[in-house]
Amino acid sequence: MKRSSAEAPPAGEVATEDASAARTAAVLYLDADTGKGGASRSLLYIVEKLAAAGWRPVVVLLETNAQVEGFRGKGLVSHIVRQIPKFRPADRHNLFSALRYLWHLRRLFGLIPVLRRLIAEHEIRLVHVNHENIALTGLLIARYFGLPCVCHIRTQLTPTLSARLVNRLIARFATAIVPISEPAAEHFAALANRPAASAKMTTIYNPAPDLPDLVRPLPELATPDDRFRILILSNISHNRGIDRVVDVTLALERMNRRDFVFHVCGGLAHTRLMPGTQNTYLDDILARVREHELGDRIRFHGYVAEPLRALASCHALLRLTRLRPSPWGRDIIEAMMVGLPIVTVGTFQGYVEDGRNGFVDATFDADQSAAHLIRLCDDGMLRSAMSEANRKKARAMFDAANRAADVAALYRRIIGRRPA
Q: What average pLDDT does the segment 143-151 reach?
A: 97
Q: Percent of the chain, pLDDT > 70?
A: 90
For residue 6, is pLDDT > 60? no
Task: Determine the 3-state secondary structure of 303 from DSSP.
Answer: coil
Residue 418, pLDDT score: 57
Q: Give the pLDDT confidence of 256-315 residue by residue, as tens digits.
A: 999 999 999 998 876 454 555 567 899 999 999 999 999 999 999 999 989 999 999 999
Q: Give the pLDDT confidence of 329-383 residue by residue, as tens digits.
A: 899 999 999 999 999 999 999 999 999 999 999 999 999 999 999 999 999 999 9
For residue 15, is pLDDT > 50? no
- 132, 177 in Cβ contact below 8 A? no
What is the distance between the alpha carbons of residues 405 and 35, in angstroms, rounded to a whole number?
23
Give Dmax (Cα) for the chain.
71
Residue 141 burial (10 A CB sphere; 0-12, 13-18, 19+):
buried
Residue 91, pLDDT score: 67
**Average pLDDT score over the chain:** 89
19-207+399-415: CATH topology is Rossmann fold (3.40.50)
Q: Is the dihedral of CA 208, 28, 126, 199 positive or negative?
A: positive
- Provide CB contacts within 8 A for 237, sequence distance 6+: 268, 269, 270, 281
- 169, 139 in Cβ contact below 8 A? yes
- 30, 127 in Cβ contact below 8 A? yes
What is the distance between the alpha carbons of residues 206 and 234, in angstroms, rounded to a whole number?
17
Place 88 in a pLDDT band, splitting at 50, 70 and 90: confident
Query: Do the domains 228-397 and 19-207+399-415 match in fold?
Result: yes
Which position has the higher pLDDT, 226 or 3? Answer: 226
Residue 17, pLDDT score: 45
Residue 40, pLDDT score: 93
Residue 8, pLDDT score: 39
Q: Torsions phi, psi of 317, nearest 5?
A: -110, 135
Model pTM above 0.95: no
Residue 10, pLDDT score: 37
Residue 130, pLDDT score: 96
Domain ranges of the chain: 19-207+399-415, 228-397
Q: What average pLDDT does the segment 174-192 reach?
A: 94
Q: Return the amino acid letter for 416.
A: G
CATH class of 228-397: alpha beta
For residue 42, is pLDDT > 60? yes
Please, what is the Cα angle at 187 between 364 and 44, to 5 degrees?
Answer: 90
Which position has the higher pLDDT, 391 or 213? Answer: 391
Q: Return the amino acid letter for 241.
A: G
Q: What's the DSSP call for residue 81? A: E
Buried b (16+ CB within 10 A) or exposed e, 187-212: bbbebbeeeebbebbbbbbbbbbebe
What is the distance between the alpha carbons of residues 45 and 399, in angstroms, rounded to a whole number?
10
- Provide CB contacts within 8 A for 334, sequence distance 6+: 208, 209, 233, 307, 308, 311
Q: What average pLDDT does the segment 384-397 reach?
A: 96
What is the distance between the alpha carbons of residues 147 and 73, in angstroms, rounded to a whole number?
29
For residue 11, is pLDDT > 50? no
Q: Torsions phi, psi of 25, nearest 5?
A: -70, 150
Q: Quickly list H helices, 257-316.
A: 281-291, 307-312
Torsion angle of C-alpha atoms 42, 44, 46, 52, degrees rounded to 10:
-160
What is the distance between the alpha carbons of residues 5 and 16, in angstroms, rounded to a whole number?
20
Q: Percent of the chain, pLDDT > 90?
A: 72
Residue of 111, 116, 129, 229 whose CA lies nearest to 169 = 129
Pairing between strand 298-302 and 260-265? parallel
Report the 3 state secondary structure along 194-221.
Answer: CHHHHHHECCCCCCECCCCCCCCCCCCC
